[in-house]
């Protein structure tokens, strides 16, 4: 089992006042074949995860798509401020 580094990205929310984010779609493109779990965190709060086995050859890895609803997003979303999105995977690298 290998714990691979976390990928972080950040953005500043620009949602107009009195408006809410309805949902978020996150697409993670796999760059290597692996078997394991992918975790998505928003501001340090896990908002999604999936376990998957990829049987792929070079440059044909699939994407993981996370559709995250508002009730989950609102647990960690920072309206009007900086948000940090992290993707981490615990996997057996092939």
Number of domains, the chain: 1
CA distances from 4 to 14, 36, 64, 74, 91 (A): 32, 11, 17, 27, 7
CA atoms within 13 Å, Cβ hemisphere of 11: 8
pLDDT for 72:
93
pTM, entire model: 0.77
3-state secondary structure of 28: strand
Return the pLDDT at 79.
Answer: 94
The CATH number given to whatever domain includes residue 74 is 2.60.120.260
Domain hosting 28: range is: 2-93
Query: Model confidence over 16-69: pLDDT tens digits?
Result: 998 999 999 988 776 666 677 888 999 999 999 888 766 555 555 667 788 999
Residue the block writes with tokens 């890895």: 61
CA 43 to chain centre: 11
CB neighbour class for 38 (10 Å; exposed up to 12, middle 13-18, buried from 19): buried
């Amino acid at each position: 089992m290998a714990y691979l580094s976390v990928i972080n990205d950040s953005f500043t929310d620009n949602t107009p006042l009195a408006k809410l984010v309805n949902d978020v779609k996150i697409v993670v493109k796999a760059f290597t074949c692996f078997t394991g779990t992918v975790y998505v965190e928003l501001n340090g709060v896990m908002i999604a995860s999936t376990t998957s086995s990829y049987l792929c050859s070079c440059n044909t890895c699939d994407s993981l798509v996370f559709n995250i609803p508002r009730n989950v997003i609102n647990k960690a979303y920072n309206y009007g401020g900086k948000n940090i999105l992290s993707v981490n995977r615990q996997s057996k690298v092939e």
